[in-house]
Structure 1
Amino acid sequence: MTNDTQAASGCPFHKEGANTNIASSNTAWWPNALNLDILSQHDQKTNPMDPDFDYVKAFNSLDLEAVKQDLRTLINTSQDWWPADYGSYIGMFVRTAWHLAGSYRKQDGRGGANTGNQRFAPLNSWPDNVNTDKGRRLLWPIKRKYGNKLSWGDLIVLAGTVAYEEAGLKTYGFGGGRLDIWHPEKDIYWGSENKWLDATKNRYENDQDRKSLENPLAAVQMGLIYVNPEGVDGHPDPLKTAQDMRTTFDRMAMDDEETVALTAGGHTVGKAHGNGKAELLGKDVEGADVEFQGLGWHNPEGTGNAGNTMVSGLEGAWTTHPTQWDNEFFYLLFTYDWQLTKSPAGANQWEPVNIKEEDKPVDAHNPNIRRNPMMTDADMALKVDPEYRKIAERFYQDPAYFAEVFARAWFKLTHRDLGPKSRYLGADVPAEDLIWQDPIPSVDYILSEAEIDELKVKLLNSGLSDAELINTAWDSARTFRSSDFRGGANGARIRLAPQKDWQANEPARLAKVLAKLEEIQLGLAKKVSIADLIVLGGSAAVEKAAHAAGVNLKVPFTSGRGDATQEKTDVYSFEDLEPVSDGYRNFQKAEFAAQPEELLLDHTQLLGLTAPEMTVLVGGLRVLGTNYGGTQEGVLTNREGVLSNDFFVNLTDMANTWTPVGKNRYEIRDRATGATKWTATRVDLVFGSNSILRAYAEVYAQDDNKEKFVKDFIAAWNKVMNADRFDVK
């Protein structure tokens, strides 16, 4: 063996040779092991910014008008390395922003523009995102100029919005505040396929019922943002495509009117590119070699750009004037009959029959030539689907109404995952409170420490049990999602539909607690919100349990939560926040393909918690007796209600055995006598079986860490209670 061969086969990154397994990950060796990577997705070690960097402060020092002016100049200045269609990058920047924001899904709040995740795999290499790499690279000089004051997420959305303004649309506004990530969100589930646009792998429980698309997915195929532009599985059928559109846009919290507006408005500007052979394109962004410097899909034909650009494979503009905001999309759609044709790349597209010469757009790079416009299968769906057609005809007859609906829908699309309006930055934030922003009235009081202590006494002496107070506070706060900043205890929407009726919230117990809290509220000289009383009640009970364990620590509390109203609560979209599983309270609504411990990890990541925080919270909530329905699984203590480390002590005690006795049910027995001491679930036992979680469990089981356990539990509890308090961070 030569030295070169030895070096290659021993290198941990080498992909060939006999010792390939050296590079294998633990998940390759043990594919069924619980993978905790999702809880360290955005480790601070990957962040190049200084620990004290404050993006809010940096953005607020930005001259936003100067940025917008630079964007206008860029939009109208064609670059030699990637020439602009029609001399304008309006279409390019709209598409780049659209595809950044369009990955959002309301089921779990993941995706969207908030993190600038289009810069990383897999999104940077999705077939549907082809050449968005060029859009980002065109924006690089502006990003370089404004640096830390302007995140990629904010820049891309702003560029798309300014592009529409340059086209002539009166936009609804813009809010900054998107924090960039620094490595791929590789643990987000985008589908089980291992092949792009794999029509052989069905995402539907019932292929005839397009609403049965697998949760939490929104796109119909791996590598798409929305639906296949050529038709379902690449087969043109506008009526069937309409079904996919309705499901996909609904998964983004868009109704039919917003769907029609976004489809038509998105295709009012720009063009599709299919002048070439898709099979000749080079590798995507992640697969391209170093000489391409982060750009993918190199086209070896001709110049590789301009008239030789390949993107979707469809070719042509949708409107006569693709750089202008107008009503030409509907004019062409309804004026002409359309026939199915093939693009130069062989893609299915629709073209008009006997179109007037003056209605044809000019060539994107030769104004002396006119080309046929084209429509995708999704565009044709607006004409043939009865409900979509009614909306489209109204937009055609009322261009001003169309422009207003689109402007609002574009704002919603690009801001849906930014969270409540209190997180928006900049002078262009609209004043109006929109229902999808989950508005919460502000409060005008501050509670002193003495007032807080007095309220704690009232709450603890209310006749409500400690477990009832803790569970209500937890259930109110556990809805928070760090993915799109929705949910949480602020607003006390647990009082309102749909949350008050969720099975996981134990409606009868919840109604009892809320009635008592409202009674207490009525008797207060200074009115305090129910939201504050809910959190304070749970925190007071936790504090009492800590004292019972001999640890005299205070649970921090910051007042200032408001009470949301039913009329300002988007009931339909809040239904997706309903817990179907909550390992923290040993609750599971039904059986799922994923194991209970995997569902716990997903919930934990959405809460923004770490693996150690998850560990201490589960162990603490078990001994506090907070299980759903008062069940005893995992309550590994003989002093329930005391915030002790008994869960970890007894879980790791080798005087016990652990025996499965049913579906997700285990008995913990005395090794010597065989007597059953406790029962448990998989969520409980995983803290002893998984090597990483056991390491944390052993820390909290140690005799010298009883106080540390209580201290860490209170810190994690406080983090959850304040996860949505953006005003106090």
Structure 2
Amino acid sequence: MENKMHSNGSSMGKCPFGHGSNTASSKTVTEWWPETLNLDILHQHDTKTNPFGKDFNYQEELKKLDVEALKNDVRNLMTDSQDWWPADWGHYGGLMIRMAWHAAGTYRVADGRGGGGTGNQRFAPLNSWPDNASLDKARRLLWPIKKKYGNKVSWADLIILAGTMAYESMGLKSYGFAFGREDIWHPEKDIYWGAEKEWLAPSDERYDSVDKPNTMQNPLAAVQMGLIYVNPEGVNGNPDPIKTGAQVRETFKRMAMNDEETVALTAGGHTVGKMHGNGDASILGADPEAANVEEQGFGWANPTKTGVGRDAVTSGIEGAWTTHPTKWDNGYFEMLFNHEWESVKSPAGAWQWEPVSIAEEDKPVDVEDSSIRNNPAMTDADMAMKMDPIYREISLKFKEDFEGFSDAFARAWFKLTHRDMGPKDRWFGPDLPQEDLIWQDPIPKGKKDYDVEAVKAKILDSGLSISDMVSTAWDSARTFRGSDFRGGANGARIRLAPQKDWSGNEPKRLQKVLSVLEPIAKAFGISVADTIVLAGNVGVEKAIKNAGMNVSVPFAPGRGDATAEMTDVESFEYLEPKADGFRNWQKEEYVVSPEELLLDRAQLMGLTAPEMTALIGGMRIIGTNHGGTKHGVFTENEGALTNDFFVNLTDMAYKWKPAKDGIYEILNRKTSEVKWTATRIDLVFGSNSILRSYVEVYAQDDSKEKFVNDFVDAWVKVMNADRFDL
């Protein structure tokens, strides 16, 4: 019997399957119940999607890599392999630079997420963003090289290396390059790209006022959904270089770039390559994620033309910025300042700027026929480099100092492409710069060989409470962000500005604790950073003994102490916690719920849902609440690391009701006596079905030792999260 098929391969008859793999045919739990707490961002740390075994070590694989051979292959690629995807002017440099730029350029300093450090451009939504049109071809051009070197180089490293080698092949002396980016194997669900439901929705949706760029919703940096930076045509597609310049400034600030770095990156990025808008963008095929299976991961197919060279359409703006688009030179500034410009429409209908008049020899040659010359073009952001007073001054300085511009760009490009890699302990390769850069958060090496037990004994006799020791160590370590590997206990920056004054760190209590621990560190000739963590371990071990058990908390010496001169105060302000559910504290009310803020903090710290659960239960019982509040301290034996939090949360002898100011009361069912108080953070562990499943494990009579061991493991993980030297 004939069974007709749709073009997408599905049967027109009744489907015989249960739709277990049809992700488009049924709702998810969060779609059925939108208010439920979505733990997916913590499951991101699950390793089940990784095709490598648990013993795979990328740093060890990198040691086998022939770096020079790889660099030569990538460099040669720039002018080879012109068969199936011909390059503009026979050079893939512009395409490879855009690929690397758009990978790294998603980084934002507010939460450290985005960036090129994970190879996430291979997955949706990034692989199908409108701003990333045709980058699918760039990655596929690299496939033969990735295939050749295999596990010895990650996609993340290869993508960024391709951009750097492209610049070198066109004449730029690069500042350096570091390998060490490890690939992920599924989309990063934890990254919030915006609430818009359509690509390139008007930027008004993410601003309180589009005329005030600093009102853009945090932690976003790009002005519209599907863009890397700003709209090249102008604010909401309307040319106005002054307004666009203001958006450029805010966007690049949110990427941790200052005005000089912004000008250098804008000019350097537009010194080579071209924009593509010589055609009708509306006829292009689906993006890679939506394309049919026969497209094999390619998108934006041009059904009527070749889609390359003169027919290429990506941004909709058409033209090169400089006279020699495959050469690193000062042509960008010369073109920008040596001509008057007017706004016109491209063949694709996009707003762009072209010279009012220009000599024929100053025009770039056609990408296919060198006997033809075409007008150069500029975006609204380019014109901002000329018309914004601050950008103009910097641009004119660079125009007169090509060497200074080249150095500024090389440094800014290195920062752009390495900002999310963390400290040098994570870097590998022969081209590492020797200079310590403040944005790397440098930390000197600490002493490793000393009598740890003697230090612990001194701390134990110091008179500090369990709460003070554990809370201070936690506050020092909780700043760690696995998104860009910043923060953490190493460096002991909790004793420096700005961290020493953060309200979440209880400055008065912090100074009292530091006044005890710093002399101990000095007496033993060790770092304050090590001493703070050791004190936390001492507190945990004491709490375990109070619970009738004896478990040692592992410790790895060797942390160093950063100085104020090593600390970028403005940059570190972004690491300030606005809430910490682990210490039952929130700075103020926010649009999102306290439990959502807890998940965000836990994900940044690299914790799984079970680890988060164990830590919450232990921190409550130890008595580490901010300000000493008793919310969630479900025990008669505070300071002993028991499983009482879980036992009493699940005890049906009690009932729960809202009180006031976001606080809940736990009442004896028979007497209605208030037994304990709690926050939403505490009660969500009993109300959410997934979290409750973990709570029930720890509440069992046979789980007392398991809970302590799991707490210790999670505690050590937090304390060592930034120890890339281990």
Percent of matched pairs sharing the same residue: 63
Deviation string 1:260-300 (CA, Å, 9 cap, x unpaired) is 00000000000000111110010011000101100111111
Partner of 1:536: 534
Cα shift at 1:662:
1.6
- CA–CA distance in structure 2, aligned partners of residues 307 and 621 of structure 1: 63
Aligned partners of 2:583 and 2:624 also within 8 Å: yes
Deviation string 1:405-429 (CA, Å, 9 cap, x unpaired) is 0000000000000000111100011
SS at match of 1:679: strand
Partner of 1:617: 615
Partner of 1:463: 463
Partner of 1:505: 505
Cα shift at 1:14:
5.3
Deviation string 1:68-106 (CA, Å, 9 cap, x unpaired) is 111121101142211000110110110000000000000
Cα shift at 1:301:
2.6
Alignment counterpart, residue 632 of structure 1, candidates 613, 630, 633:
630
Cα shift at 1:25:
1.3
Alignment counterpart, residue 605 of structure 2, candidates 607, 631, 641:
607
Partner of 1:589: 587
SS at match of 2:635: coil
Question: Is residue 473 of structure 1 aligned with residue 473 of structure 2?
Answer: yes
Partner of 2:8: none
Cα shift at 1:518:
1.5
SS at match of 1:46: coil
Question: Is residue 143 of structure 1 aligned with residue 150 of structure 2?
Answer: no
Aligned partners of 1:115 and 1:179 also within 8 Å: yes
Alignment counterpart, residue 254 of structure 1, candidates 252, 257, 279:
257
- CA–CA distance in structure 2, aligned partners of residues 531 and 443 of structure 1: 9
Aligned partners of 1:269 and 1:325 also within 8 Å: yes
Compute the RMSD of aligned alpha carbons: 1.3
Residue 10 to residue 423, structure 1, CA distance change in 2 (3 Å): closer
Matching of residues 210-609 of structure 1 within 5 Å: 210-447=213-450, 451-524=451-524, 527-609=525-607
Cα shift at 1:338:
0.2
Cα shift at 1:603:
0.5
Cα shift at 1:351:
0.2
SS at match of 1:340: strand
Partner of 1:669: 667
Deviation string 1:632-660 (CA, Å, 9 cap, x unpaired) is 11111111111011100010000000000
Cα shift at 1:516:
1.1
- CA–CA distance in structure 2, aligned partners of residues 505 and 619 of structure 1: 20
Aligned partners of 1:167 and 1:324 also within 8 Å: yes
- CA–CA distance in structure 1, aligned partners of residues 46 and 466 of structure 2: 35
- CA–CA distance in structure 1, aligned partners of residues 243 and 692 of structure 2: 51
Cα shift at 1:40:
1.1
Deviation string 1:540-559 (CA, Å, 9 cap, x unpaired) is 11001001111110001110
Question: Is residue 707 of structure 1 aligned with residue 715 of structure 2?
Answer: no
Partner of 2:6: none
Matching of residues 188-207 of structure 1 within 5 Å: 188-199=191-202, 202-207=205-210
- CA–CA distance in structure 1, aligned partners of residues 505 and 364 of structure 2: 57
Cα shift at 1:8:
5.7
Residue 42 to residue 454, structure 1, CA distance change in 2 (3 Å): closer
Deviation string 1:209-264 (CA, Å, 9 cap, x unpaired) is 11111000010111010000000111111000011011100001000000000000
Question: Is residue 110 of structure 1 aligned with residue 118 of structure 2?
Answer: no
Q: What is the aligned residue count?
A: 717
Matching of residues 74-93 of structure 1 within 5 Å: 74-93=77-96
- CA–CA distance in structure 1, aligned partners of residues 523 and 44 of structure 2: 46
The one-letter code matched in structure 2 to 1:706 is K
Matching of residues 128-207 of structure 1 within 5 Å: 128-199=131-202, 202-207=205-210
- CA–CA distance in structure 1, aligned partners of residues 66 and 122 of structure 2: 25
- CA–CA distance in structure 2, aligned partners of residues 69 and 559 of structure 1: 41
The one-letter code matched in structure 1 to 2:458 is K
SS at match of 1:207: coil
The one-letter code matched in structure 1 to 2:518 is E
The one-letter code matched in structure 1 to 2:651 is D
The one-letter code matched in structure 2 to 1:79 is Q
The one-letter code matched in structure 2 to 1:11 is H
Aligned partners of 2:203 and 2:223 also within 8 Å: no
- CA–CA distance in structure 1, aligned partners of residues 555 and 220 of structure 2: 38
SS at match of 1:381: helix
- CA–CA distance in structure 1, aligned partners of residues 264 and 600 of structure 2: 34
The one-letter code matched in structure 2 to 1:519 is P
Partner of 1:11: 19
The one-letter code matched in structure 2 to 1:700 is Y
- CA–CA distance in structure 2, aligned partners of residues 50 and 467 of structure 1: 40
Aligned partners of 1:8 and 1:14 also within 8 Å: no
Partner of 2:30: 27
Aligned partners of 2:469 and 2:539 also within 8 Å: yes
SS at match of 1:202: helix
SS at match of 1:44: coil
- CA–CA distance in structure 2, aligned partners of residues 82 and 4 of structure 1: 37
SS at match of 2:422: coil
Aligned partners of 2:447 and 2:526 also within 8 Å: no
- CA–CA distance in structure 1, aligned partners of residues 386 and 593 of structure 2: 44
Aligned partners of 2:45 and 2:608 also within 8 Å: no
Aligned partners of 2:198 and 2:225 also within 8 Å: yes
Cα shift at 1:522:
3.1
Aligned partners of 2:447 and 2:559 also within 8 Å: no
The one-letter code matched in structure 1 to 2:492 is A
The one-letter code matched in structure 1 to 2:408 is V
Cα shift at 1:445:
3.5
The one-letter code matched in structure 2 to 1:581 is A
Cα shift at 1:501:
0.5
Residue 312 to residue 664, structure 1, CA distance change in 2 (3 Å): same
The one-letter code matched in structure 2 to 1:202 is E
Aligned partners of 1:301 and 1:308 also within 8 Å: no
The one-letter code matched in structure 1 to 2:213 is R
- CA–CA distance in structure 2, aligned partners of residues 259 and 15 of structure 1: 42
- CA–CA distance in structure 1, aligned partners of residues 208 and 533 of structure 2: 40
Deviation string 1:290-343 (CA, Å, 9 cap, x unpaired) is 011001111113212222111100000000000000000000100000000111
Deviation string 1:144-167 (CA, Å, 9 cap, x unpaired) is 100100000100111100110011
The one-letter code matched in structure 2 to 1:683 is I
Cα shift at 1:7:
1.9
Cα shift at 1:496:
0.6
The one-letter code matched in structure 1 to 2:43 is S
TM-score by length of 2: 0.97
Deviation string 1:32-66 (CA, Å, 9 cap, x unpaired) is 10010111114211111122111101112111110
Aligned partners of 2:222 and 2:230 also within 8 Å: yes
